Amino acid sequence: MELSDKTARQIWQEVRANPSRARFGFGRKAVLVNIDLQNAYTCTDRFKTAYETDPAQLAHINGLARRFRALGWPVVWTRVAYMASGEDAGIWGTRTDTPDSLQNIKHGSERAQFDSRVDVDPVRDVVYCKKMPSAFFETQLQSLLVWHQVDTVVITGGSTSGCVRATAVDSLSRGYRTIVPEQCVADKHESYHFANLTDLMLKYADVLDVLEVQNWLEDQHAMLHTAKGD
């Protein structure tokens, strides 16, 4: 095992700055999967479980969602919420039992609601309530991607070290090119955040500047209009 006195942030900056790093790249069609952008995890002024890394995170995500809709590509939002008993959290909900505990994010509660700052289209977008870290686990996400014939999964939300990472690993395992826009994911502590960005980049996903993802989407939009003769 290699030892280092560098911080997780410093290691991430070195990995990100490597011009020769290999990439999976974008494919032909993508889905946008926005993970758990609900009050429990985004409203830092109200809930101890919330976190913020980039203050513009939600604005960036809303911008990506608009671009995906303009292309006719799927936009997915997930959130976690549990029964009054908490039994549907399974073993994950047994370590603690405080008002802040995972299994105490109840259906219909303020903690379970999407942050009012995120632009969820109730008609156009797909919303899943998930119970475990990965957005793929026991949801209809896989079937949705097959129906839309996508080959690329763009992941935003939180946390970087938890549900984002779990979804990225499952995405790659299912054969999808996986993209994580750096400014669109967040975590509770910078050590977890940057360590997992590094691990994602080296193993499971392309971690890109959000501007690069936006530019790719704009290129796809231009090609679509050219093909239609607009």
The CATH superfamily assigned to 26-228 is Isochorismatase-like (3.40.50.850)
Ranges in the chain, pLDDT < 70:
229-230
pLDDT at 226: 77
- pLDDT value at position 31? 98
184 tagged catalytic: no
- Tens of pLDDT, residue by residue over 173-197, are 999 999 999 999 999 999 999 999 9
pLDDT at 58: 98
Cβ count near 98 (within 10 Å): 7
> Pick the catalytic residue: 43, 129, 163, 184?
163
* pLDDT tens-digit series, residues 80-112: 999 999 999 999 999 999 999 999 999 999 999
∠ CA 29-34-36, nearest 5°, is 160
Give the pLDDT score at 230: 62
pLDDT of 16: 95
Please give the full DSSP string across 43-93, using - where no structure is assigned. Answer: -TTT-TT---S-TTHHHHHHHHHHHHHHHT--EEEEEE-B-TT-GGGGGGG
Distance CA 175, CA 64 (A): 23
Q: What percent of the chain has pLDDT over 70?
A: 98
Task: Please state the pTM of the whole predicted model.
Answer: 0.96
Tokens of 59: 């604005």
Contact call for residues 158 and 133 (beta carbons, < 8 A): no
Predicted local confidence at residue 224, as pLDDT:
76
Residue 2 pLDDT:
87
